[in-house]
Amino acid sequence: MKKMTYIALACALAFTGCVTTEGGSASGLSAVVSALNTTGAVGSGGSKTENQVGAAVDVFKAVTVSDEELKSVALQYRAYGDRTEKLAPPNNKYSQRLERLTRKHVNEDGLNLNFKVYLSKDVNANATADGSIRVYAGLMDMMNDQELLGVIGHEIGHVKHAHTMSAMRTAYMASAGRKAVAASSGTAAKLADSELGALGEKLFNSQFSQSQETESDDYGLAFMQKHKYNVKALESAFRKLASLSGKQGGLDQMLSSHPDPGSRADRMRDKTGGKK
C-alpha cells in the first residue's frame, strides 16, 4: 500500500512540473504540497496510508485539469456567487452605470468578459477565470467614472495575465485534497453549493502576489492609455483607497490582501509623469 502512495504522489508531482498557466508560469508544486498537507486523516475507517493514496489521486486529477475545465468550474462558482450575493437587476442604477462604462469592453483584448454589480457596501471588485468581473456598489459609490474604469482595467489584467486561472487552479487543487472537488473523466464535475462554497473560501483566502498586482496595475494603466481615458485616474483611485484605510471593516480586509494603495498611487504618478 505504501508503494501505491509513492506511485500516486510521483505521478501527481511529475504532471505538476508540466502544468503552466496561460501566462506561462508553473503553478502546481506548492499547491500539491498544500493539498496533501490538508488531508491528514481524511475519511472514516481508512488507514492513513489509504487516505494518502486517495489524496494523491485527487491531487493528480486536479493537477491535470485543463484551463477549459477550470473555466467551467469558474463559471459554476460565479453562478453560485450571483445566486448568493445581492445581484443588481439590469434596470438598477448601478447596473446601468456599469453597462454604460463597460459595453465597449466585453471583448477587450481578445477576452470574453461580463460585468455585473453586487449591491453591497463593501469596497471591492474581483474577477474570475471565466472572464466574469463583479463590482461592488460600495466601490462604485466611492469612484468617479474614470477611476472605476481604471479599477476595471486592473481586474481585466488579472484575467488577461491568467492570475485568476492560477488562483482557481490552486483553490481547486486544495479543495480536491479535502475531497471537496474533483475532475471526472476529463470533464469538470457539476459541483454542489457546499463544494462551491468551500472552493470560494479557498479563493477568498488566496492572495495575488506582489508581482501579479503590479502587472495588473500596469495593465490597467495601459488600458486607460489605449482607450484615451484619464491616465491619472488609477492614481486617484488608489489615493481614495489609502485615505479609507482603518475606517471600514470590509475595506480593511480588501487592503490586507493587496499591496499598500499609497505606494501603488505613487507608482502610478511616477509612471504617468504628471500627465492628465
Could you tell me if 155 and 95 lie in one domain? yes
Could you tell me if 130 and 181 lie in one domain? no
Could you tell me if 82 and 217 lie in one domain? yes
CB count in 10 Å sphere of residue 100: 10
Could you tell me if 6 and 53 lie in one domain? yes
The pLDDT-based confidence of 126 (bands split at 50, 70, 90) is very high
Could you tell me if 183 and 87 lie in one domain? no
Q: Reduced to 3 states, what is the DSSP secondary structure of residue 1?
A: coil
Amino acid 32: pLDDT? 46
Q: What is the dihedral of CA 150, 151, 157, 159, to 10 degrees?
A: -140
Could you tell me if 130 and 225 lie in one domain? yes
Q: Reduced to 3 states, what is the DSSP secondary structure of residue 123?
A: coil
Cell of 77: 462558482
The pLDDT-based confidence of 15 (bands split at 50, 70, 90) is very low
Does residue 186 sit within a domain?
Answer: yes
Could you tell me if 49 and 80 lie in one domain? no
CB 155 within 8 A of CB 125: yes
CB count in 10 Å sphere of residue 66: 13
User: What span, in angstroms and rounded, lies between the C-alpha atoms of 135 and 143?
Assistant: 11
Q: How many distinct structural domains can be found in the chain? A: 2
The pLDDT-based confidence of 23 (bands split at 50, 70, 90) is very low
What sign results for the dihedral spanned by CA atoms 63, 64, 65, 67? Answer: positive
Could you tell me if 216 and 186 lie in one domain? no
Does residue 228 sit within a domain?
Answer: yes
CB 58 within 8 A of CB 180: no
What is the value of pTM for the model shown? 0.74
Amino acid 57: pLDDT? 53
Q: What are phi and psi of 270, to 5 degrees?
A: -65, -35
pLDDT, mean over the chain: 77
Backbone Cα Rg of the chain: 20
Q: Reduced to 3 states, what is the DSSP secondary structure of residue 91?
A: coil
The pLDDT-based confidence of 46 (bands split at 50, 70, 90) is low
Alpha helical stretches, state H, 178-243: 193-205, 210-226, 233-243
User: What span, in angstroms and rounded, lies between the C-alpha atoms of 22 and 131?
Assistant: 13
Could you tell me if 32 and 155 lie in one domain? no
CB 150 within 8 A of CB 222: no
- For residue 9, what are the domain limits? 2-65+167-196
Q: What is the dihedral of CA 12, 18, 62, 7, to 10 degrees?
A: -10
Cell of 175: 479543495
Encode pLDDT of 73-99 as tens digits: 899 999 999 999 999 999 999 999 999
Q: Reduced to 3 states, what is the DSSP secondary structure of residue 105?
A: helix
Encode pLDDT of 166-181 as tens digits: 998 888 877 753 444 4
What angle is formed at CA 259 by the lines to CA 169 and CA 70, rounded to 5 degrees?
15
Could you tell me if 101 and 229 lie in one domain? yes
Could you tell me if 171 and 232 lie in one domain? no
Catalytic residues: 155
Could you tell me if 125 and 89 lie in one domain? yes
Does residue 204 sit within a domain?
Answer: no
CB 49 within 8 A of CB 7: no
User: Amino acid identity, residue 257?
Assistant: S
Amino acid 169: pLDDT? 86
CATH code for position 101? 3.30.2010.10
Encode pLDDT of 25-39 as tens digits: 444 444 444 444 544
User: What span, in angstroms and rounded, lies between the C-alpha atoms of 177 and 57?
Assistant: 9
Question: Residue 187's beta-bridge partner residues?
Answer: 184
Q: Reduced to 3 states, what is the DSSP secondary structure of residue 132?
A: strand
Amino acid 175: pLDDT? 73
Cell of 235: 492614481
Does residue 149 sit within a domain?
Answer: yes
